[in-house]
Structures are given as structure tokens and as C-alpha cells.
């Protein structure tokens, strides 16, 4: 055994995946390959029964005597408990160079294959038991219209005791009450590959009929061709009985709790609905048929059902097993939230075990809506008080300011007489006088702040108003290092509007932009039109408006200006009211630290509207 051939043989044996070892006639191990050592540990020089079975006596499955005496190989399958594995063993005699005989043992692990065989046999047995014992009728049939097999439940359903007689029938002629139902069934299953809950009537052997629900799918050969069908038939008589039981249970509940105007909901400890009264139907939109037996947790927000059970089991919410008037929202069938209060209790059996819970829900939606409406009314009253206070304040201001304003107006009128009409300074005086008149008019309007403005409107050139406003602010903007860029689109249609109101809108917008750039920046004003509307965009590079303030900037009395003298929260509110009253809109886009853009959109006059020839349209002569 020490020759080069033996060494080569050992190398070959070591390369094999099966466990291999060689023993002498006295059972002493002469050689173990790597796979055998890996599985059983080293054992050369030891008795094989110590190595394989960790025993001091020969293994009960040992067939060494046959191998050595008969000189033939043997095959066997054994289970070794210490390894919890099954092996296929091959034992063959080999002749050594010195003439002695040894035994070659090959151990192949077949545990996985044996397990698969057992599982397959178990699956076949389970399928057979299911086929024979399931309460529904189970069958296989040919495409031509005869049964190949059927379980006892199917035979019982249609009143047959002799299976051979049943299998020999024509399905379309002898089983279907309406043969056309068989044709329709075949068309559906051939088109879709399956039929689910197809309602038909079968004929029993005694001539009576039984309604069934038929569910089936096709059987195909290896080539994919349909050769038959297999499926399940459910006797609908049982379903009718179940419906009767549900109706009886519903009638019983109606006799006890249907008179309650509040929602009464009961559920077992698995969360299945067992009580659902008419009040619950009216409050939450679901019928009892829709929710009986369904999971009650779908009616709550996530985790709320568990929280309710925790509170009911706690003594802190009305005593152990009870919950008193806890605020709760239910989910209506439409997805809306239903507000109310829940009182609930746990139902126990005679042994003290929890078996169900019952809740009494009071819908408070109407009352809460009334309370919210009352709150809004109170806010409106408060707002009205603010407006009334503003009216009183403006009345006093108007009285005090009117006299100096008229003095200024008279002074400007006198100065106009000293300057030629075609001089640019004369136009500046006209603008100053116009703004002073507008200021006096504003004071007058503030006395009736809440009344709609009835000022007469006429065709107005937006470009002219924008140009005048920017000319008026030119010096102020330059003083605070603000660069103005004005882009006026030619050919804009006129707008039917109050010129004074539009001047106030643009003045307020430009003033706000200037306030937003205390350290300088760029103010861009551009006009544009699309035929039906005229647009004015006023953009600044100022501090911007915070996102949470964007929805409030047009609210009355809302202001972000901290200086008490600079902002009372009326500017943008008045501007929005003017533009909205003209059928237009104001849009705003802003980013903190980048700037703000206001877009004033006004409807343009249709047709061939032209601007009136007034002094405001006269050319400017420097």
C-alpha cells in the first residue's frame, strides 16, 4: 500500500466529496479521506465503530462479514443518530498488494433527498386527504364533458352513492339544469384560464336542484393545450342558511339597541365587528352588512384601537373595564372625520375573561361646528371693532389734516401760475397737486372705510401711471442707493379704472419695495399685455417675505413693519381691494434674502377703446 500507485489512489479518494474509509478485517481503520474526516473526525488506527458510531461494539448495520466471507459488495441505507443524517453505504472488498483483503466503505449523504421524498409523500397524502375530506365538491373533468374524478362531498351534493355511475354521466346533459350554462362556463374558462364563483344550478339524481358556486381552472398538457378542467363546487344552500343566521342576529340586535339615536359598536377581542346599530349606520355611513365581521380598527386612526383598549383596562378613565366620554374621531365611509365622544365598556364571560367590547359614540359634529362658527363670528366682531376704531381715528385725522392739505393745494396752484405750461417743472407741480388732491380724497374715503368705492372710472394708460409714479420716486430711490429699471411694453390696451386708485396701488408697492431695501438694491418695474389682460410686475432685491407670512400680507391690520409709525397693516389690504374691485388680481412671489415680486393683473378694455385726450396725456417738454 506504500507504492506510487497507492499514493495516487489516496489522492483520488481525497478529492471525492463522499466520505470514504478503508478497514481491515479486524475493523481497524487504515485510511480516511478528507470528506470522511470532516464528517466524523480523524480515526486511522481506531475501530471503525468508534469512529462512525462512537460505540464500543460493532455497528448494528455492519455487513463486514458478508464482504470478507463472500467477497462481494453490498449496498444499504442507514440512519446514524449521532449525525442525524441518512447515508447510502457501499461496502466492497479490495485486495492489497500483499495479498490481504481490506474493505472499502463509501458513505454518501442522502439526507436531503430522503427529506424531499418524505415531504413529497406527505404532500401527496395531504392532497389526497384534502381531496377526499374537504366539505366542498372537488372534481376533475375532461374537455369533452365527462368527470375523471370527484370527491365524496361532490357525490353527496348531487345525491349519488355510486361513483362509477357518477363518472359515467354527461356533464352538460345530466348535471346542468340549463345546458347553456355549461357552454358559457367553457367559453369563460377557455378565454381566461379560470372561472371564479360562477353561479349555476345542478340537477340531483332524484331530480331536485341545488344552487352552487363554481370555481375552476384549466388543465393543460406539456404542450400547453387545454385538456380538461378542475375545480370546486360550493353548495349555496349553506350560504343561504348563513345569510338567514345573519339576518336573525341583526333582527335580535335591532330589537334591543336599534332605538338608540347614538352609534353603538361592538367588537370581539380579535377586533371583529359584532354589533353595528342603525345609529352607527347613520353616523358613519357603513351598513351593518358591510362591517359585520370586519376589523373595527379601520374606523380609527392608526393605533387608536389599541389605545382605547389600554384606557379601558386602566382605572384612570372611569374604572377598570370602562371608558367615559373620551373625545374621539371616527372615519366616515366617505373618508371624512366624524368628531364626538366615546363611552365604552369591556364585556366579560362567567370566568372573568374578556370576550368583547361595546362602545357608545355621540356625534358632536353639529355642536362643534356651531362652536367654531361662534368663534369665527366673535373674530369677525373683533375685526369690526377694529374697523370701527379705525373709523373713529381716521375721522379725527381727517379733521386735523384737511386744513393744512388745502393750504398746500392752494400754494401749489399759485406756483403753477408762475411756471410755463410746457415746462417739465410744471408737470411735476401738476403731479404734486394731483397727489395732494388724492391724499385729501383718501382721507375722505377712510371715513367710510367699509363702504364700496363708487369713484368714476375711465380708460387709463398703465404705462403713463407707472411712468409718473417712477418719476415721482426717482429722487427718493437714488437717495437710498436703489437703482430703478423701468420697462414699458408698447401698444398696451387701456384699462377701465380709477386712476387715483391705481396710483395708490403702485405708490404703495414702490414704497414697500423701497422699505425692503434699506441698504440699497435694484427695483425693476415692467409692464406687459396679452390682449385680454395688462400685467405690471414690481420686483425688488430686498429682504423678502417669510413663507408663513405670504398668506397673510393682504389681511387687514397685518404688518411686518416694527416701527409703529410706518405700518398699521392697511396698505396691501387696500391695494388688493382696489385691484380685486377692478376685476384683477395680485400675485406675490418671494424668497427670504433674495427679494419679492408683485404681479398686478388687470383686465384690458376690449374692442377699439381709446384713451381720452387730457392734460395727463400731453407730451412732456423739458
Reported pTM: 0.34
Residue whose C-alpha is closest to residue 534's, from 458, 588, 585, 593: 585
The Cα-based distances of 157 to 13, 151, 178, 214 in angstroms read 65, 10, 18, 13
Task: Report the DSSP beta bridge partners of residue 585.
Answer: 601
* pLDDT of 188: 92
DSSP label at 620?
A: P
The domain spanning residue 584 has which CATH number? Answer: 3.30.565.10
Q: How many CB atoms are closer than 10 A to CB 102?
A: 20
Residue whose C-alpha is closest to residue 397's, from 351, 359, 446, 431: 446
- The reply to whether 371 falls in a domain is no
Domain count, the chain: 5
Q: How many CB atoms are closer than 10 A to CB 187?
A: 11
DSSP 2-31: -SHHHHHHHHHHHT-SSEEEEE-TT-BEEE
* 543 in the same domain as 575: yes
- The reply to whether 117 falls in a domain is no
The CB-side HSE value for 324 (13 A sphere, CA atoms) comes to 6
- The low-confidence residues of the chain, meaning pLDDT below 50, are 1, 3, 6, 448-453, 563-569, 613-622
The domain spanning residue 358 has which CATH number? Answer: 3.30.450.20
DSSP 492-536: PPPEEE-HHHHHHHHHHHHHHHHHT-TT-EEEEEEEEE-SSEEEE
* pLDDT of 387: 58
DSSP 42-109: --TTSBHHHHHH--SS--TT--HHHHHHH---EEEEEEETTTTEEEEEEEEEEE-TTS-EEEEEEEEE
64: left (phi over 0), alpha (psi -120 to 50) or beta: alpha
394, 422, 451: which is the final residue of a domain? 451
Residue whose C-alpha is closest to residue 511's, from 555, 460, 575, 564: 575
* 86 in the same domain as 46: yes
* 329 in the same domain as 283: yes
* pLDDT of 561: 62
Rounded to whole angstroms, the Cα distance separating 622 from 332 reads 74
Rounded to whole angstroms, the Cα distance separating 572 from 568 reads 10
Residues 6+ apart with CB under 8 A from 340: 283, 327, 328, 329, 330, 361, 362, 363, 364, 365
393, 417, 451: which is the final residue of a domain? 451
* 389 in the same domain as 342: no
Q: At what angle do helices 424-446 and 365-416 cross, to 10 degrees?
A: 140
* pLDDT of 28: 92
Query: pLDDT for 459-507, tens place per residue?
Result: 999 999 998 888 878 888 888 899 999 999 998 999 998 888 888 888 8
* 559 in the same domain as 461: yes
- The reply to whether 159 falls in a domain is yes
* 153 in the same domain as 89: no
Per DSSP, the three-state class of 454 is coil
Question: For residue 207, with 0-12 CB atoms within 10 Å meaning exposed, 13-18 middle and 19 or more buried, which class applies?
Answer: exposed
* 191 in the same domain as 210: yes
* 584 in the same domain as 480: yes
* 150 in the same domain as 88: no
- The reply to whether 171 falls in a domain is yes
- The reply to whether 342 falls in a domain is yes
Rounded to whole angstroms, the Cα distance separating 437 from 500 reads 9
* pLDDT of 578: 82
Q: At what angle do helices 424-446 and 462-479 cross, to 10 degrees?
A: 100
Beta strands in 335-402 (DSSP E): 337-348, 354-363
* 561 in the same domain as 437: no
C-alpha 297: how far from its chain's center?
Answer: 17
Rounded to whole angstroms, the Cα distance separating 503 from 614 reads 17
* Structural domain for 541, as ranges: 455-617
* 602 in the same domain as 459: yes
* pLDDT of 500: 81
- The reply to whether 445 falls in a domain is yes
- The reply to whether 246 falls in a domain is no
Per DSSP, the three-state class of 361 is strand
* 215 in the same domain as 180: yes
b/e burial code for range 456-482 (CB count within 10 A of at least 16 → b): ebeebbbbebbbbbbebbeeebeeeeb
- The reply to whether 123 falls in a domain is no
Amino acid at each position: 500500500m506504500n507504492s506510487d500507485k497507492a499514493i495516487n489512489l489516496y489522492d483520488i479518494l481525497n478529492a471525492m466529496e463522499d466520505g470514504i474509509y478503508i478497514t481491515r478485517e479486524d475493523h481497524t481503520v487504515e485510511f480516511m479521506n478528507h470528506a470522511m474526516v470532516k464528517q466524523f473526525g480523524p480515526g486511522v488506527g481506531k475501530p471503525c465503530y468508534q469512529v462512525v458510531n462512537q460505540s464500543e461494539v460493532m455497528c448494528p448495520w455492519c455487513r463486514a462479514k458478508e464482504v470478507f466471507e463472500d467477497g462481494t459488495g453490498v449496498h444499504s441505507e442507514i440512519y446514524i443518530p449521532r449525525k442525524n443524517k441518512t447515508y447510502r453505504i457501499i461496502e466492497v472488498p479490495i485486495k492489497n498488494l500483499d495479498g490481504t483483503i481490506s474493505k472499502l466503505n463509501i458513505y454518501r449523504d442522502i439526507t436531503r433527498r430522503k427529506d424531499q421524498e418524505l415531504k413529497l409523500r406527505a404532500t401527496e397524502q395531504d392532497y389526497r386527504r384534502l381531496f377526499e375530506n374537504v366539505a366542498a365538491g372537488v372534481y376533475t373533468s375532461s374537455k369533452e364533458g365527462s368527470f375523471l374524478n370527484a370527491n365524496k362531498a361532490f357525490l353527496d351534493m348531487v345525491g349519488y352513492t355510486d361513483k362509477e355511475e357518477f363518472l359515467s354521466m354527461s356533464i352538460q346533459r345530466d348535471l346542468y339544469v340549463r345546458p347553456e350554462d355549461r357552454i358559457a362556463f367553457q367559453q369563460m374558462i377557455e378565454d381566461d384560464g379560470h372561472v371564479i364563483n360562477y353561479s349555476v344550478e345542478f340537477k340531483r339524481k332524484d331530480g331536485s336542484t341545488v344552487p352552487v358556486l363554481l370555481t375552476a381552472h384549466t388543465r393543460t398538457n406539456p404542450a400547453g393545450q387545454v385538456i380538461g378542467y378542475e375545480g370546486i363546487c360550493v353548495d349555496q344552500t349553506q350560504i343561504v342558511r348563513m345569510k338567514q343566521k345573519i339576518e336573525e342576529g341583526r333582527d335580535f340586535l335591532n330589537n334591543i339597541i336599534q332605538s338608540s339615536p347614538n352609534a353603538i359598536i361592538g367588537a370581539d377581542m380579535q377586533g371583529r365587528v359584532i354589533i353595528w346599530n342603525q345609529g352607527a349606520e347613520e353616523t358613519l355611513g357603513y351598513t351593518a352588512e358591510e362591517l359585520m365581521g370586519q376589523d373595527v380598527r379601520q374606523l380609527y386612526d392608526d393605533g387608536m384601537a389599541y389605545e382605547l383598549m389600554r384606557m379601558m383596562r386602566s382605572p384612570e378613565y372611569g374604572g377598570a373595564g370602562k371608558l367615559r366620554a373620551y373625545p374621539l374621531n371616527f372615519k366616515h365611509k366617505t373618508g371624512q372625520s366624524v368628531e364626538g365622544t366615546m363611552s365604552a365598556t369591556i364585556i366579560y364571560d362567567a370566568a372573568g375573561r374578556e370576550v368583547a367590547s361595546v362602545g357608545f359614540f355621540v356625534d358632536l359634529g353639529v355642536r362643534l361646528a356651531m362652536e367654531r362658527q361662534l368663534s369665527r363670528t366673535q373674530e369677525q366682531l373683533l375685526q369690526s371693532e377694529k374697523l370701527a376704531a379705525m373709523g373713529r381715528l381716521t375721522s379725527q385725522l381727517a379733521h386735523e389734516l384737511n386744513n393744512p392739505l388745502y393750504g398746500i393745494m392752494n400754494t401749489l396752484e399759485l406756483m403753477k401760475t408762475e411756471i410755463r405750461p410746457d415746462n417739465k417743472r410744471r408737470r411735476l407741480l401738476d403731479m404734486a397737486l394731483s397727489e395732494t388732491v388724492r391724499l385729501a380724497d383718501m382721507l375722505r374715503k377712510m371715513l367710510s372705510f367699509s363702504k364700496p368705492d363708487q369713484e368714476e372710472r375711465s380708460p387709463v394708460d398703465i404705462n403713463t401711471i407707472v411712468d409718473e409714479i417712477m418719476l415721482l420716486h426717482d429722487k427718493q430711490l437714488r437717495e437710498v442707493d436703489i437703482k430703478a429699471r423701468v420697462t414699458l411694453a408698447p401698444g398696451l390696451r387701456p384699462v377701465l379704472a380709477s386712476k387715483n386708485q391705481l396710483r395708490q396701488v403702485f405708490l404703495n408697492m414702490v414704497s414697500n419695495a423701497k422699505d425692503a431695501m434699506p441698504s440699497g438694491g435694484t427695483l425693476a418695474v415692467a409692464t406687459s399685455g396679452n390682449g385680454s389682460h395688462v400685467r405690471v410686475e414690481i420686483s425688488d432685491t430686498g429682504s423678502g417675505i417669510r413663507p408663513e407670512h405670504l398668506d397673510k400680507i393682504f389681511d387687514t391690520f397685518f404688518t411686518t413693519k416694527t416701527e409703529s409709525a410706518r405700518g398699521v397693516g392697511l396698505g396691501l389690504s387696500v391695494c388688493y381691494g382696489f385691484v380685486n374691485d377692478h376685476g384683477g388680481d395680485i400675485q406675490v412671489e418671494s424668497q427670504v434674502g433674495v427679494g419679492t415680486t408683485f404681479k398686478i393683473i388687470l383686465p384690458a378694455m376690449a374692442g377699439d377703446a381709446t384713451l381720452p385726450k387730457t392734460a395727463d396725456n400731453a407730451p412732456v417738454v423739458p
